[in-house]
Structure 1
Amino acid sequence: MEIPVINLEELEGEKRSTTMSLLHDACGKWGFFWVENHGVDEELMEKVKALVNKHYEETMKETFYGSDVARTFGGAVAEASNIDWESSFFYRHQPDSNLSDLPELLREAMNQFVKQLINLAERLAELMSENLGLEKDYIKKTFSEPYVGTKVASTQSAPIPRLFVNLGDQIEVVSNGIYKSIRHRVLADKNGSRLSMATFYNPGGDAIISPAPKLVYPSQYRFQDYLDYYFTTKFSDKAARFQSVKEMLV
C-alpha cells in the first residue's frame, strides 16, 4: 500500500471532489499523507534545512558526543536497548518565541518558513472541517490561539533501531474518532545520522478540546420517540436520521 498523496492544486478544478474524498480517506484510514503543491517555497525549505544543519553542527554536536548517551555507543546492544539516541532542540514561534537566540540568517529564514507552514496548516484544517460537515473554520477556532513550535532532531548512529512517537490526538478527539491519531515511528540508521524537522500546530493551552457536537451520537432520548421517527425515515440515510434526532432533543 502506498501513502496517500494529496495534490492541493487539484482542489481548484474539476478534480476537487475526488481530492476531497482522498483527503477524507487519508485522514480516516491512515492519519497521515503526502502533500503536493502545498504553497511552501521549496528553495526556502532547502535553505532552512541547510541553516539548521549548520546550527546543529556548531552548537549541538559536540555537546551530544560528550554526553553519557554517546559514551554507550561502544557498549553491548542489550545494554543500550532503552537509550534515547536523539539530540534535539525546539524552536518556539507563537504565542511566545525563542528565535532571538538564533543566528540572524536562520532566524529570518525560519520566520518566513513557519508563516508558510501555518498558512498550510490552517488551509488543511478548513478542508478537514468541510469534509466532516462542520463550519469551515471550526477546527481553526477550536485550536485558537494556536501554539506553534518546531522540533529539530538528529538521531545519531546507534546499534539498534529507535522509535519516535508523535500523536495527533486533538484532531481525533474533535472528529469524534472519524480521523485517526497514529503512532509516528522513526528507524535510526546505524550507518549515519538523520535530521528531522517537525513543526507542531497545536491548540493553545487554554483551548477546550471535545468532539464537535455535530459529530456526536444523539443521547438521552426516549426510545419510543426514536422508534416513531424511525418508521417514517427507515429508508433514509442513517447519519441524517441521527442528526434529526439530535435536533429534536435540542
Structure 2
Amino acid sequence: MEIPVIDFDELNDEKRRKTMELLHQACEKWGFFKIENHGIDKKLMEKVKHLVNSHYEENLKERFYESEIAKALENKGNNSDIDWESSFFIWHRPTSNIDEIANLSEDLRKAMDEYIAQLVKLAEKLSRLMCENLGLEKCFIKEAFSGSKGPSVGTKVAKYPQCPHPQQVRGLREHTDAGGIILLLQDDQVPGDQVEVLSNGRYRSTLHRVMANENGSRLSIATFYNPAGDAIISPAPKLLYPNHFSFQDYLKLYATTKFSDKGLRFESMKKMADGHYNGLT
C-alpha cells in the first residue's frame, strides 16, 4: 500500500481542490504523507546528508560499536529491547546549541542552518494548509505553538548502523526518503501529540518504526516543529462539539432539521448554547 503523496505544485493550479482534499484525508486517516515539489533545495538536502554521514564515519562509528549498546546485543536473546541507534540532537529555535556539539564541521553547521530555515518555511506553509482544511484561521497552529518565544525547532540526527542481529533490536523511527520529504503529523512519542489535540482528534498522530538492517545502515534527519515549552495546547474552540445544551432543545432542533447536514446542526447547537441561535442557514 502506497502512502499519500502531496504535490505542492498542484496547489497553484486547477488541481488545488483535489490536492487539498488528499491532504485532509492523509491527515485524518494516515497521520503521515510524502511531499513532492516542496521547495527545499534538493542539492542542499543531499549536502546535509553527505556531511552528516561523514561526521558519523569520522567521529561516531567506532565509538558506537564499542559502546555498551553494541556489547549488550551479543549478550541478550531474541527478546532484548535494545535501541540500536547512534544519535545527537540539535536545537535550532528559539536558541541554538549547534556550536556546543563536538566535532561538527563548519560546513555542516552552515548547511544545517540553511536547511532548517527552508524547512521552517515549509512547516509554516503546511500548517496554514492544515488550518484551511480544518476551517481555522490560517495562523492558528503557528500562534498556538508560539508561546512567549515562538515555536520550538530541533533536529534528531540518527544513524541506524549495520546490525549483526537485527531481529534482536526494537523498531526505530525513520523519516528519510530519496529526494522527498516524509512528514509525520506527530509521532506518538512526542509528548502531548499536539496536532491531534489542537484538531480535537481529527488529525491523529501515528506510530512509525523501521527495523534495523544487517546488510547496511540507515540515516534519519528528523526535524521537529513543536510548540514552545510554555505554549498551552488545547482543542481549537471552533472544532469542539456543542456543549451545555439540554437534550430537549436538541430534539426540537433535530425535528426541524433532520434532513440537514449534521455539521450545520452542530454549529446551530453551538450558537443555541451560547444564546445566539438564529436557525440554520
Normalised TM-score (structure 2): 0.85
Aligned amino acid, residue 53 of structure 2:
N
Cα distance in 1, alignment partners of residues 260 and 219 from structure 2: 52
| Structure 1 residues 103-122: aligned runs within 5 Å | 103-122=105-124
Deviations 1:140-164 (A, max 9, x none): 1111121100001111233125313
Aligned amino acid, residue 131 of structure 2:
S
Which structure has more helix as a fraction of its residues?
1
Aligned amino acid, residue 22 of structure 1:
L
Measure how far apart 1:73 and its partner are.
4.3
Measure how far apart 1:81 and its partner are.
1.6
Aligned amino acid, residue 86 of structure 1:
E
Q: Which runs of 5+ in 2 are unaligned?
A: 174-186, 275-281
2:158 is paired with a residue whose SS is strand
Report what 2:237 is aligned to.
213
Q: Which runs of 5+ in 1 are unaligned?
A: none
Count of residues paired in the alignment = 249
| Structure 1 residues 24-43: aligned runs within 5 Å | 24-43=24-43
Report what 2:99 is aligned to.
100
Deviates more, 1:169-178 or 1:100-109: 100-109
Verify the 8 A CA contact 1:214 1:243 in the aligned structure 2. Answer: no
User: Which of residues 172, 190, 200 is equivalent to 1:164?
Assistant: 172
Measure how far apart 1:227 and its partner are.
1.8
Task: Select the structure with the greater relative contact order (CA < 8 A; seq sep ≥ 6).
Answer: 2
| Structure 1 residues 178-189: aligned runs within 5 Å | 178-189=202-213
| Structure 1 residues 194-213: aligned runs within 5 Å | 194-213=218-237
Task: Find out whether 1:46 has 2:51 as its counterpart.
Answer: no
Aligned amino acid, residue 111 of structure 1:
D
Report what 1:87 is aligned to.
86
Measure how far apart 1:129 and its partner are.
0.6
Task: Find out whether 1:236 has 2:238 as its counterpart.
Answer: no
Verify the 8 A CA contact 1:147 1:201 in the aligned structure 2. Answer: yes
Could you say what the CA RMSD is over the residues aligned between the two structures, in angstroms? 1.5
Measure how far apart 1:76 and its partner are.
5.2
Cα distance in 2, alignment partners of residues 157 and 164 from structure 1: 13
1:48 is paired with a residue whose SS is helix
Report what 1:247 is aligned to.
271
Report what 2:151 is aligned to.
146
1:97 is paired with a residue whose SS is coil
Cα distance in 1, alignment partners of residues 81 and 209 from structure 2: 15
Task: Find out whether 1:133 has 2:141 as its counterpart.
Answer: no
Normalised TM-score (structure 1): 0.95
Deviations 1:140-199 (A, max 9, x none): 111112110000111123312531353261111111111111101111111221111100
Aligned amino acid, residue 162 of structure 1:
R
Measure how far apart 1:248 and its partner are.
2.0
